[in-house]
Amino acid sequence: MFNALFWWAVKNETGSTAMANEKSLESLTAYLIEKSLAVDNIFVFLLIFTYFAVPPAFQKRVLMIGIIGAIVLRTIMILVGGWLAAGAVPLDSVHLRCFPHPHRREDVVGLTDVIFAVDSIPAIFAITKDPFIVLTSNVFAILGLRAMFFLLQAAASRFHLLNYGLAVILVFIGTKMMLIDIFKIPVAVSLGVVLGILAITMIWSSKTAPNT
């Protein structure tokens, strides 16, 4: 719906259907990339909640505060990135990890998301230099993290082997992060690995469900 409204707004402003098609396609592509990259965040959030033993009653609050903080920090990064892109400064040469040391669980969630954004935001700038498109694609992807997390959490309670699958996914994500300066695993490959592991563990769980 947002993309349709965006197409209409660009069409009215420029009077060009071709421009509206191009901008709306950039917006959709940027959103899908951000959403794909956001899958990694979900499993790291699950690891954080497990490590800090966050009670389920407080997880929604921690996620909401962390996501709001991530939106603010990502907005700053995008504005800086847009300024650097306009000045023809290579984004890969700029280190944007200078953030305060997190002291609360909400801070850890927000900071973790921003660390992932260090790679995802330059990926979107490779598609479009329009800061509005970069910002909106990020915001919509982040807002969906909360729903995705609780969907995964609900699935974990129904499939008894899913925790083992999540452990394998976390190992994969950690390996991916360690190799990022040597070899960048394509987004499509990462998403395929994650979905494949989830599918295998869920099917295996259904076939080996304990008798009740």
Average pLDDT along the chain, 212 residues, taken 10 residues at a time: 93 93 88 75 78 83 83 83 64 44 56 62 75 88 83 74 78 78 76 83 81 52
Looking at residue 72, the DSSP 8-state letter turns out to be H
Give pLDDT, residue 147: 83
Give pLDDT, residue 211: 56
**CA–CA distances in Å: residue 97 to residues 36, 77, 85, 89, 153:** 22, 10, 18, 17, 29
Give pLDDT, residue 101: 47
Give pLDDT, residue 112: 62
H helix or E strand, kind and range, residue 6: helix 2-14
Give pLDDT, residue 71: 84
Task: Map tokens 């040469």 to a residue.
Answer: 93
Give pLDDT, residue 65: 84
Overall pTM > 0.85: no
Q: What angle do CA 46, 203, 194 make, to 5 degrees?
A: 45
CA distance 199 to 196: 5
